[in-house]
Structure 1
Amino acid sequence: MKQRLQLLFLWLALIAPALCACRTIPSNHSDFTNPPSLAATSFCKCTCFSNSTIIPLTNIPGESTAKKATCNDCNRQFCLSYNLPICKDAKDADVFTTCFQRDSTKDQLIVFTFIFVTCGLLIWATVRPYAETYLE
């Protein structure tokens, strides 16, 4: 009986932070299908000669429609179309590109899981002495 109650307190301590951090479901269904907060931010790193700069992939310059740029658009022409000062007098062979993402959902999930488990263990460490005296 004592072990079952300890396991119950442990599970409650681990689940309590997750229950407190739950987000409410939006009233508008379209907001829930593709929330911008869950979208990963993509960046294009343009390296000309030995200098580099990072450009957020939002819109493609020179496009009449507002088309969101993807990692496929991160190429030499993309960097040269920005007319960057570091790429002045650069040819295609002098430009190197790299695309990367920041703040992806996977990264956020790992961080939040770590925080929830740590908080749960801290709560369990606080509650455990009282639970043991209550059980005795």
Structure 2
Amino acid sequence: MPDRRTFLKSSLAAAAAALMGTGSAEAADSSLMGSVIYTAEHPGKWTQKEGSHAPVITVEGGKVKVQTNHPMTEKHFIVRHTLVLADGVVLGSRTFTAKDPEAVSTYELPKGYSGVLLATSFCNLHDFWLTETKI
């Protein structure tokens, strides 16, 4: 498990570094989008997987829900969610197992926060997915 943990941390760091210089996921280095970082708009080799792999962000008041509409089976499941603020601060993360019934995580926003939120979802078979929203 330490190797997977290291990989996930490195992946998040790479994504955050790519995005921090640009201010948004859409403006990130196009060589990363659809090749290392996948989005609904840039699914790369995973075209037609975006509906079940790109995280969905829902904001209600000061709460954020991240959900990946993906089956959770022993052979194919969502491994982790992470929520990152516009300044690169990781608001939180949740690691899943195949035994979890669904890939849903919740976070509390800092009081009065407005700006960009970046949600990541990592699938054990279909890589690292990113969704951006602005509140």
The two structures have a TM-score, normalised by structure 2, of 0.26
TM-score w.r.t. the length of structure 1 is: 0.26
Structure number with greater CO (CA < 8 Å, separation at least 6) is 1
Give the structure with the higher percent strand: 2
- By percentage of residues, which structure has more helix? 1
